[in-house]
Amino acid sequence: MFKSILRPLLARSLVIVTAVILASLPCFAQEGGEITLQFLSFPKSVAPEPVELLVGEGKTIEVEIPTNALSAEYRVKRPERWVFGKSSVDEEGKESFDIYGQAAVPSSQKQIILLVRQGKGNADGMEIIPIENNADNFGGGIFLFMNATKVDIAGTIGDKKFALAPGKIANVKPQAKAADRNEGTVHTKLFFRTETEAKPFFSSTWPLNDKARNFVFFYHDPYSKRLRLHTIRDFLP
């Protein structure tokens, strides 16, 4: 009789404990469940070809990878890795997925994925660079510099200095110097390193806006081999 009374009480206790545990999970599950993505590719192209993102076993979605602005937003479930490529079917009807590039997945719920082509086309391979898309890491007033050249680059922007080895990225949030404060601009001066010295190659004033963030890509022009930069401004809502 004692056992018959105890069993319902234990069952009720187990239900209560389980309910308490489950009630604490949804917040974590929602935080880790889906990620909002935007894409940007480089080098710039008039009509960049889209790529496919692996979102499950044998399942992909096609995503646009513009070069002059961020793409529209995509929402996907969090994978173990970001894997990009293209699906194909051979003459016998066998499906395959050619991987162009992959990268680890940061913890952020909003991310910008930068895809850097290693040749003329996507199929030549891509370096995948996830960027945490939040106010602290890449919010208004921040300049994201990427060195896609083979030389060291350094510069001053407003009150900040930065230096970039080839293949590196730096986020800089400058403040305007006193002379530029009323104009809402920052003076920018850029240098590249030769074997013996640092040589200036760019000097200008750039607008500074707490509602806009900026991408700045350094690269060698494929035809003239001269050092160039490609800039993109993204206004926040």
**DSSP per residue over 98-121, as a string?**
EEEEEEEPPS-SEEEEEEEESSSS
Confidence at residue 222, expressed as pLDDT on a 0 to 100 scale? 83
The Cα 181–Cα 159 span in angstroms is 11
Q: Which strand (E) or helix (H) includes residue 219?
A: strand 212-220
pLDDT of 6 > 60? The answer is: no
Tell me: pLDDT of 37 over 60.
Answer: yes
Which residue is listed with tokens 């602005």? 69
So what's the pLDDT on residue 196?
85
Residue 179 has pLDDT above 80, yes or no: no
Tens of pLDDT along 95-133? Answer: 899 999 999 999 999 999 999 999 989 999 999 999 999
Read off the tokens for 106: 């940061």
Percent of the chain with pLDDT over 70: 85
The pLDDT-based confidence of 86 (bands split at 50, 70, 90) is very high
Across the range 44-52, mean pLDDT stands at 94
The pTM for the full model equals 0.81
Between 91 and 65, the more confident residue is 65
The CATH class that applies to domain 139-237 reads mainly beta
Coil, strand or helix at 177: coil
**Where does residue 198 rank: exposed (0-12), middle (13-18), buried (19+ CB within 10 A)?**
middle
Spatial neighbors of 204 by CB under 8 A, at least 6 apart, are 187, 188
**What mean pLDDT is reported for the chain?**
86
**Non-local CB neighbours of 101 within 8 Å, separated by 6+ positions:** 84, 85, 115, 125, 126, 127, 128
Give the model confidence (pLDDT) of 201-237 as tens digits: 999 999 999 999 999 999 998 888 899 999 999 999 8
Please indicate whether the domains covering 34-133 and 139-237 agree at the CATH topology level.
yes
Q: Residue 21: its pLDDT value, please?
A: 33
User: How do residues 68-83 score in pLDDT, each as one tens digit?
Assistant: 999 999 999 999 999 9
The answer as to CATH 3.30.1560 being correct for domain 34-133 is no
Residue 177 confidence (pLDDT): 80
Q: How many CB atoms lie under 10 A from the CB of residue 138?
A: 22
Residue whose structure tokens are 């044998």 = 58
Where do the domains of the chain lie? 34-133, 139-237
Write the pLDDT tens digit of every residue in 132-160.
Answer: 999 888 999 999 999 999 999 999 999 99
Q: Has residue 47 got a pLDDT over 80?
A: yes
